[in-house]
Structure 1
Amino acid sequence: MTTNTASDSLPPPVIILNRRLLLALLIFALVLTAIASWAGYTLAVAKIGVETPVSAELVVRWQVRLQEQKAALTQVETDVQHQVDVMTLRLGAMQGRLLRLDVLGQRFVESGLVNNEEFDFSAPAPVGGPKVLLPPESYSVPSLSEMIERLERRLDNREQQLRLLDKLAWRQKLDDERFVEGRPIIWGWLSSEYGYRTDPFSGKRTWHGGVDLAGKDGSDIVAVAAGVVTWAGKRHGYGNLVEIAHGDGLVTRYAHAKAVSVKIGDLVQKAQVVALMGSTGRSTGPHVHFEVLKHGRTTDPVKYMARASH
């Protein structure tokens, strides 16, 4: 009985074999799974390695495109800056022309052609208007350029008009300057009239072709109108003489001067000092012998001196 019991307690050989086989199969399955995983990982890495150059190419394309866009933007900025520089130069030229027009306008005011209370060329033009509800808009480069062109055309027109008026004004001023009027002295009195008189040296009746204006020795003798000096120096009977041509056949003479302040060919202005009163030549004392000639013939200077009082 004892022997049989011991033999019954041992495991069957078949069962032990089956357990070992299952263990071996399990280990093999694990190995296969590991091999499959490694193969899948290797294939994935290989696949990524194939796709990587394609992604780099796309990146390169994007970089090239960005560089092109950046270059285009830089060119646009350069073009815009060039247009701004051109408009700045045009505005600078317009500003210079406006300054010249202001000078011309101020000369008109000073000449009396326009009312200085109505026109003030040193201040901006008065403008205004009600506020609009629409939002304000900034000027674009084309519209701003067009506006500048319109202003330039208006400036051309105004400049031509003002230059014409300037010529007329200066012609008027020249006519006024050439207009013979007033006395050739600052202070003094009429000592001998125009026409026949008793000669102070011979006592006989002789013709006196001008007027004598007595005054202080060395006092100023002034031109009664603008003109060109045609004589400056000594002349028989006149002593030191200044002769001025004023145009339109008018000539004035200033004789017996102590000293002459101008020379032949000088342009003199109205009221300019041309000599100093004296008693040179055929004279009895300090005075100026004043003559006015019209086309070579003497005329009474009193009517020209009287013009200044009207």
Structure 2
Amino acid sequence: MKIILVNERGATRSFNFGGLSKALLGLCLLGLPVGAFLLGTNLSVVETDLFDARTAKAWERALRKQQEEIGAADRAAREQLVALTVKLAELQARLTRLDALGERLTAAANLDEGEFQFGTPPALGGPEDPQVAGASELPYQSPGFLDVIDDLSQQIDDRQMQLEMLESLMANLKLEDEQFIAGRPITKGWMSSRYGYRTDPFTGRRTWHKGVDFAGKMGSDVVSVAAGVVTWADERHGYGQLVEINHGNGYSTRYGHNSALKVGLGDVVRKGQVIAQMGSSGRSTGPHVHFEIFKNNRAVDPASYIRRTGR
């Protein structure tokens, strides 16, 4: 076998091969493509195997991380749901207590039935706004969990407002009751002289008595028949030790002939409060309290006020 090689300059060179050389050369030429194919196939398989394994592990890690995040979100959602449920229960319990309190206060104040309505939804209303496009065509949606909580909060606000109004009304009623003149100015004793004409115990003449007298034990309690402000607490001619109280609305009362005074000028007194101790100071024949009631600066008969039992 003879092989001729030609270079760039056109020069030639020939090689002669024997039988053995030709066999080896043929084998090499035939083995090069087969070896290249097999090597490429092995490298491709190795690279493909390495890519699939890494990808699988990466996916596995990503999936595991997502599962952990989903689990954490689920736990947080459940915790929030439990907290909201507890809050809802607290709001419902608070609303129940407010309703019960409001009903008791309404009954205690003897208010007209229906003026304050606890335990029923507040009255609502109003015309539909035609300017809102498609407002009447919106589909019905059931209230959500947060909507229920908002509704409860609104109901509690409504009850709170009613209770505040009721408290103010009851305070006014209590003030009116405290200022309402009723009862006797003593805790023990009896009426010894009435309002009107009588025989004066010192002169024996027929004179006008503009109050009533209550006799009793020396030093026994003298009480205010209504709440008010003390406008006199001192000695006064004819009255001895006198307490005078202004009750507002044109009313005032006087308590005379006391042995000791328990209040001072400007003091605010409650109904039934002890203001003095019974005595015989001033123009008096024995321990008693001289009780007068003035309406618009004019003395009136205390009898009708004494018989009152209060509001």
> TM-score, structure 2 length as denominator?
0.65
Query: 1:295-306 maps to which residues of 2 (within 5 A)?
Result: 295-306=296-307
In structure 1, what is the equivalent of residue 219 of structure 2?
Answer: 218
d(CA) in 2 for partners of 1:50, 1:168: 88
Kindly state the Cα deviation for residue 153 of structure 1 after the two structures are TM-superposed: 2.0
Is 1:200 equivalent to 2:201 in the alignment?
yes
Kindly state the Cα deviation for residue 267 of structure 1 after the two structures are TM-superposed: 3.3
Question: Percent same amino acid among aligned pairs?
Answer: 42
In structure 2, what is the equivalent of residue 269 of structure 1?
Answer: 270
Tell me the SS of whatever aligns to 2:247: strand
Contact kept in structure 2, 1:94 and 1:152, CA below 8 Å: no
In structure 2, what is the equivalent of residue 59 of structure 1?
Answer: 57
Kindly state the Cα deviation for residue 143 of structure 1 after the two structures are TM-superposed: 2.6
In structure 2, what is the equivalent of residue 257 of structure 1?
Answer: 258
In structure 1, what is the equivalent of residue 229 of structure 2?
Answer: 228
d(CA) in 2 for partners of 1:103, 1:244: 36
Cα 1:84/1:268, change in 2 over 3 Å: farther
Kindly state the Cα deviation for residue 91 of structure 1 after the two structures are TM-superposed: 5.4
In structure 2, what is the equivalent of residue 77 of structure 1?
Answer: 75
Kindly state the Cα deviation for residue 150 of structure 1 after the two structures are TM-superposed: 1.8
Calculate the aligned-residue CA RMSD, in Å: 3.5
Tell me the SS of whatever aligns to 1:160: helix
Contact kept in structure 1, 2:241 and 2:282, CA below 8 Å: yes
In structure 1, what is the equivalent of residue 106 of structure 2?
Answer: 108
Deviations 1:211-232 (A, max 9, x none): 1111111222122222233333
In structure 1, what is the equivalent of residue 150 of structure 2?
Answer: 149
d(CA) in 1 for partners of 2:161, 2:168: 11
Is 1:165 equivalent to 2:166 in the alignment?
yes
Q: Which has the higher helix share?
A: 1
Tell me the amino acid that sits aligned with residue 155 of structure 2. R
Higher mean Cα deviation, 255-264 or 293-302?
255-264
Which segments of 5 or more consecutive residues in structure 2 lack a partner in the other structure? 1-37, 121-142
Deviations 1:250-287 (A, max 9, x none): 11111112222233343333222222211122222110
Cα 1:308/1:47, change in 2 over 3 Å: closer
Tell me the amino acid that sits aligned with residue 62 of structure 2. V
Tell me the amino acid that sits aligned with residue 56 of structure 1. R
Tell me the amino acid that sits aligned with residue 146 of structure 2. S
Query: 1:34-49 maps to which residues of 2 (within 5 A)?
Result: 47=45
Tell me the SS of whatever aligns to 2:217: coil
d(CA) in 1 for partners of 2:243, 2:105: 32
Cα 1:110/1:233, change in 2 over 3 Å: farther
Is 1:294 equivalent to 2:295 in the alignment?
yes
In structure 2, what is the equivalent of residue 6 of structure 1?
Answer: none
Tell me the SS of whatever aligns to 1:67: helix
